[in-house]
Structure 1
Amino acid sequence: MDTAAARARGLLYGLLSLFFLPDFDEKRLSLARNVLESLPKTGVERFDSAVGDLREALAGKEATEIREEFERLFIVPFEGAQIPLEASYYLEGKLFGPSLARLRELLGELGLARGEGVSEPEDHLGVLLAFMEAATQQNSLIQERELFYNFLRPCARGVTAKLEKEASFYGKVAKMLEAFLELEERFFEEA
């Protein structure tokens, strides 16, 4: 596998994971802005448009605004419909279902584990994106594909379907996530 392509894919997974983990801060905001500014045009209209929209949305945002929107959408149940971020919810209709055990087994095969201090379960969207970032660097395409199709894709599809209705910042994050994952599907089909 092309190491430059693997690094680029990993960079995008890492960027997107920043937005789906709690406690968004100025450090993450700065990193996200830097990564988005460094991305060249790909020639894929939907992806390039999503990158441009997210770059523009980030330009006027403070970390506290992003953190508050995250909490409103994903954590605080009293401010509207809380959007689950766990793959087991989208796969089985409940949290901590059998798919989480299967995911943990796959992660063990890949030698991946949650980072210290991460309290979200392994099937949480932000954690799955971070796992995909790490998996892109391991040259284990079969297991990477399994992680993508069996866990990340169903979770992301469920979350983005709910977020794309949002005219807010996270609607733009969802648009970029979906556009990137469509590129990843093409990558896996051609690999």
Structure 2
Amino acid sequence: MSTPLKFETPDNGEETARADLYGLLATLYAAPPSQALLDTIGSAAAEGEGILQQAWADLVKACRGARAEALSTEYDSLFIGVGKPEVLLYGSYYLAGFLMEKPLAELRADLARLGLERADDISEPEDHIAMLFEVMRYLIASQDIEHASIPTQQAFFSTHIAPWAAQLFDAIDTHRHAAFYATVTRLARAFIDVETQAFDMA
């Protein structure tokens, strides 16, 4: 059983670690990993016990010797494809059954209240899992006291990530083309489970 994160002592580096992991997952789901990123992860330490630590160790192992070209092919086959992607990475699809539905409008309203908006050079809608993870990274690392507060983090997480993330993870885990991304998803699932426990205890 994994050990829940603790929010009481943000100065011990745990908040930085949370933000960094959200940022890494956002990067991996946004696009295929570069060779430099694979080499960096593959050279990282992989120690500790628990589900989250084991999932991280598995990702480190998967990155060692991995080639960016092969993982680009896997990413494209899963998340790009010809026509409709094999696996959709958008919250509206899992929450409403269709893309660009009410959950996206509600997300945009919440982002506006936080003073956030999609950059002009990004074509993906805001309910892409990578963008939601990036918002969590921003909230945790923000110098704005209200944005960085646990209630703000919890509200965003509980509304826009927790209700559908497991369905996405299931879709990736069971897909025949998922190899490296099944490993990424095990880490994401373990992390989201730990975050859920921690928010429940906050």
User: Do the structures match in fold with TM over 0.5?
Assistant: yes
Displacement of 1:122: 0.7
Matched, 1:56 2:67: no
8 Å CA contact 2:38–2:68 kept in 1: the answer is: yes
The Cα shift of 1:64 comes to: 1.6
Q: Does 1:184 align with 2:186?
A: no
Indicate the SS of the match to 2:161: helix
Cα drift, residue 23 of structure 1: 4.8
Does the 8 Å contact 2:46/2:53 carry over to 1? no
* TM-score calculated relative to the size of structure 1: 0.87
Number of matched residues?
Answer: 186
CA contact (8 A) 1:16 1:177 kept: yes
Letter in 2 for 1:54: L
Instruction: Pick closer, same or farther for the CA change 1:30–1:153 going to 2, 3 Å.
Output: farther
In the alignment, residue 24 of structure 1 is paired with which amino acid? P
String of CA shifts for 1:23-73, please: whole Å, max 9, x gaps: 532344345446xx15652x4x21111111111111121112222111100
Match of 1:111, SS?
coil
Contact 1:24/1:63 (CA < 8 Å) preserved in 2? yes
Q: Of the candidates 108, 129, 133, which is equivalent to residue 129 of structure 1?
A: 133
Q: List aligned pairs for 1:32-51, cutoff 5 A.
A: 32-33=41-42, 37-38=44-45, 41=48, 43=49, 45-51=50-56
Within 2, Cα distance between the matches of 1:33 and 1:118? 29
Unaligned 5+ runs, structure 2: 1-6, 143-147
**RMSD across aligned positions (CA):** 2.2
Question: Considering only CA atoms, is the larger Rg found in Structure 1 or Structure 2?
Answer: 2
Shift of residue 77, structure 1, vs aligned partner: 3.8
TM-score, normalised via structure 2 length: 0.82
2:4 corresponds to = none
Equivalent of residue 70 in structure 1, options 71, 75, 78: 75
Q: 1:4-43 to 2 correspondence within 5 Å?
A: 4-33=13-42, 37-38=44-45, 41=48, 43=49
Which AA in structure 1 matches 2:21? L
State the identity as a percent. Answer: 30
Return the structure number with greater helix share: 1
Contact between 1:85 and 1:155, CA under 8 Å: does it hold in 2?
Answer: no
Residues 152-191 of structure 1: pairs in structure 2 closer than 5 A? 152-166=161-175, 168-191=179-202
Measure the CA separation in 2 of the matches of 1:25 and 1:94.
31
Say whether residues 1:105 and 2:114 are aligned partners.
no
Paired amino acid for 1:182: D
State the distance in 2 between where 1:158 and 1:95 align.
15
Instruction: Specify the alignment match of 1:84 in structure 2.
Output: 88
